[in-house]
């Protein structure tokens, strides 16, 4: 039993069980986890001022920072327990090694300090105190923004430690039992190594949260009212379901219709044409025009867009090899130059529509336009050129899929990425590796991935036009 299982348990009971007892062959590599590890050790090295070493030898030596220490103990109820602190930071005090002691440190990748961080620190402190023979009253949560290390002090009081021990005992009982049910709240599942394993089970059992728009609260509401799976949802009556969905107020019948149709499509594998909004007409009216297809790669934690990809398409239905792709690297030290290149690209074909998938690209460009003090008329013209295919899909089709991300939609329509198991997180991981090593291999992987994202967007546009013509 160790602090890693405890961390998993706080996030998801099923994840903790799978980490402990699951078949490891079903696990998939998580770029998000790898990004966290890379950033973690980079910041630990900075915090320790380069004096970072591993194991108890480093403690005896009095290193500023210590990693890779394992401490074993019989915690409570004679349970074999082990901790692997992320980092121990040397501070003034008294311990078995001399006139200094160590306090636990954890790294957070995002902006929020969560229960996982607090419990990890408290749990480590419980075993670290008797090991180093020194009291621990506080720990640290560190993060980095704009290459600056932020340090948050955490009070490791009796109340917090008591909570941790109760959760630890609960974890121990869970691990003795059978595998827990899949959580209804699956928002965090996208960064979990067990995602595909759980997705397969959820699909086989008709989990309500496989239906787009249904989260844990809505699923609980439906279950409370006798709808326990997708088949039952597909068979529901719109009026009756609308009355059940009271939490959506004036949208309840609209939501009922969407959930029922999405369930029917999901089960049958057949898309359903809808006419929610006339947003397809903008694309159809310009189908014979030239297009710019635009996709961004970003680091959300640093709020930095590191690659802008433009695919120039003279005609949507010309040969792919006749298209021209131009990736623009946006380095922080040289962003003025890259921003200039971006707008030169946009205004080189000033009447061409700009196709993108999701709101990120449009927001990014408009923010840049304001930063560069473009006049309001230019900004409005620029704004009018953007066509969001995600909105068009949402307003014109119900597809037999779990969600409407670019990957999911384009894959269903038959598009294949040239690199396996790619994602925005993986591109970000490659970017971090490129910045660290300056190895062009990582940059080439990012550019190849971004080009495929642009081609996937093009594929969706073609599908929308072709299938509209087939219907008409």
- pLDDT for the residue 145: 72
Closest listed residue to residue 124, CA positions, set 75, 170, 192, 179: 75
- pLDDT for the residue 302: 79
Alpha-carbon span 289 to 314, nearest angstrom:
7
Which residues are bridge partners to 72 per DSSP? 82
Longest dimension (CA), the chain: 83
Q: Is the pTM of this model over 0.95?
A: no
- Contact in structure between 187 and 215 (CB atoms under 8 Å): yes
Closest listed residue to residue 201, CA positions, set 168, 177, 179: 179
Dihedrals phi, psi of 52, to nearest 5 degrees: -120, 120
CATH superfamily of 280-471: Ribonuclease H-like superfamily/Ribonuclease H (3.30.420.10)
Going by the DSSP 8-state scheme, the letter that residue 372 receives in this structure is T
- Contact in structure between 1 and 81 (CB atoms under 8 Å): yes
Instruction: Return all residues near 278 (Cβ < 8 A) that are at least 6 apart.
Output: 395
Q: Report the topology of domain 3-176.
A: Lambda Exonuclease; Chain A (3.90.320)
Helix (H, G, I), strand (E, B) or coil at 94: strand
* pLDDT average per 10 residues of sequence, the chain (472 residues): 86 90 87 85 92 95 94 81 93 94 92 90 93 94 83 93 90 89 76 87 88 89 92 93 85 91 96 79 78 92 89 78 83 80 84 92 90 85 91 94 95 95 92 90 96 96 84 54
- pLDDT for the residue 316: 75
- Contact in structure between 120 and 139 (CB atoms under 8 Å): no
Return the domain boundaries, the chain.
3-176, 206-270, 280-471
Q: For the structural domain made of 206-270, what CATH number should be given?
A: 1.10.150
Q: Where are the beta strands (DSSP E) in 132-234?
A: 138-145, 148-155
């Amino acid at each position: 039993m160790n602090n890693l299982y405890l961390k998993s348990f706080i996030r998801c009971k099923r994840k903790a069980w799978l980490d402990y007892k699951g078949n490891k062959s079903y696990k998939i590599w998580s770029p998000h986890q790898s990004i966290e590890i890379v950033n973690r050790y980079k910041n630990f090295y900075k915090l320790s001022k380069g004096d970072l070493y591993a194991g108890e030898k480093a403690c005896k030596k009095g290193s500023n920072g210590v990693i890779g220490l394992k401490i074993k103990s019989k915690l409570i109820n004679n349970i074999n327990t082990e901790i692997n602190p992320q980092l121990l930071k040397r501070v003034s005090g008294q311990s078995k090694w001399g006139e200094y002691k160590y306090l636990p440190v954890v790294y957070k990748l995002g902006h929020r300090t969560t229960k996982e961080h607090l419990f990890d620190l408290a749990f480590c402190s419980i075993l670290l105190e008797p090991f180093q023979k020194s009291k621990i009253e506080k720990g640290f949560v560190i993060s980095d923004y704009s290459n600056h290390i932020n340090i948050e002090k955490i009070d490791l009081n009796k109340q917090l430690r008591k909570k941790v021990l109760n959760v630890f005992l609960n974890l121990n009982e869970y691990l003795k039992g059978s595998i827990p049910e899949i959580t209804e709240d699956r928002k965090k599942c996208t960064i979990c190594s067990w995602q595909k394993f759980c997705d397969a089970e959820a699909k086989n059992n008709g989990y309500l949260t496989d239906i787009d728009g249904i989260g844990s609260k809505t699923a609980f509401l439906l279950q409370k009212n006798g709808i326990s799976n997708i088949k039952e949802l597909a068979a529901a009556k719109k009026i009756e379901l609308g009355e059940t969905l009271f939490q959506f107020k004036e949208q309840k019948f609209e939501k009922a219709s969407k959930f029922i149709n999405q369930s029917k499509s999901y089960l049958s594998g057949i898309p359903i044409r809808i006419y929610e909004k006339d947003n397809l007409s903008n694309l159809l009216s310009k189908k014979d025009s030239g297009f710019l297809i635009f996709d961004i790669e970003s680091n959300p934690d640093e709020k930095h867009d590191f690659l802008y990809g433009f695919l120039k398409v003279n005609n949507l239905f010309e040969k792919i090899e006749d298209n021209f792709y131009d990736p623009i690297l946006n380095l922080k030290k040289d962003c003025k130059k890259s921003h200039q290149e971006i707008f030169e690209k946009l205004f080189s074909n000033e009447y061409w529509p700009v196709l993108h998938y999701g709101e990120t690209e449009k927001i990014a460009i408009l923010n840049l336009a304001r930063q560069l003090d473009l006049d309001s008329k230019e900004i409005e013209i620029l704004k009018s050129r953007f066509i969001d295919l995600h909105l068009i899909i949402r307003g014109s089709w119900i597809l037999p899929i779990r969600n409407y991300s670019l990957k999911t939609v384009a894959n269903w329509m038959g598009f294949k990425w040239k690199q396996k198991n790619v994602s925005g997180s993986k591109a970000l991981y490659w970017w971090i590796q490129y910045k660290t090593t300056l190895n062009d291999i990582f940059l080439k992987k990012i550019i190849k991935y971004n080009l495929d994202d642009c081609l996937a967007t093009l594929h969706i546009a073609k599908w929308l036009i072709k299938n509209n013509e087939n219907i008409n």
